Amino acid sequence: MTDAATKPLLAQAQGMQSFLAFDFGMKRTGAAYGTRMLGTARPLPTIHAEGKARFTPMDSLIAQWQPEALVVGVPYHPDGAAHENTAHALRFARQLRGRFGLLVFEVDERYSTTEALASGARDADAASACIILEQFMRSLDVPDLDAAP
């Protein structure tokens, strides 16, 4: 997540404090809210909706939590190759940008569901959204090793 294309976006996120994250799925989308001050994410109810219908509960979540930006988990194969769900998640991120006018950060979410299930989560989708968001917030606190001293 620290390639040349994402560095300007991460720089924009440095001053932001609150985020809403989504673990996109075709039938279910996990959600979580978190702040940098606490450094943790809180699971929100998983959205059980498909297509455009999923945006109605997202409208409510964004109105309620007032995040400064959104974070979307993007799935990849273990070797980093894209697959069909990668394209769906990226499209979802573009839709969020257009619909809500907020910055949307994309996070590699490989193994987040596996980690959520291994931790005994009752709602793996919401727990995965927490993992994605906490990973993103940790990345904001990593110093830029490419920056000149």
Which residue bears the tokens 């924009």? 12
Query: Domains of the chain: which residue ranges?
Result: 20-140
The highest-level CATH class for domain 20-140 is alpha beta
- From first to last of its 149 residues, the chain has per-residue pLDDT tens of 444 445 555 666 666 789 999 999 999 999 999 998 888 999 999 999 988 999 999 999 999 999 999 999 999 999 999 999 999 999 999 999 999 999 999 999 988 888 888 999 999 999 999 999 999 999 887 655 455 44
Is residue 137 within 8 Å of residue 14, measured between CB atoms?
A: no
Residue 5 gets the label, from left (phi > 0), alpha (psi -120 to 50) or beta, of alpha
| Residue 10 CB coordination number (10 Å) | 16
Tokens 């991120």 label which residue?
A: 93
Rounded-to-integer distance, Cα 132 and Cα 110, Å: 9
- The 3-class SS string of the chain reads CCCCCCHHHHHHHCCCCEEEEEECCCCEEEEEEEECCCCEEEEEEEEECCHHHHHHHHHHHHHHHCCCEEEEEECCCCCCCCCHHHHHHHHHHHHHHHHHCCEEEEEECCCHHHHHHHCCCCCHHHHHHHHHHHHHHHHHCCCCCCCCC
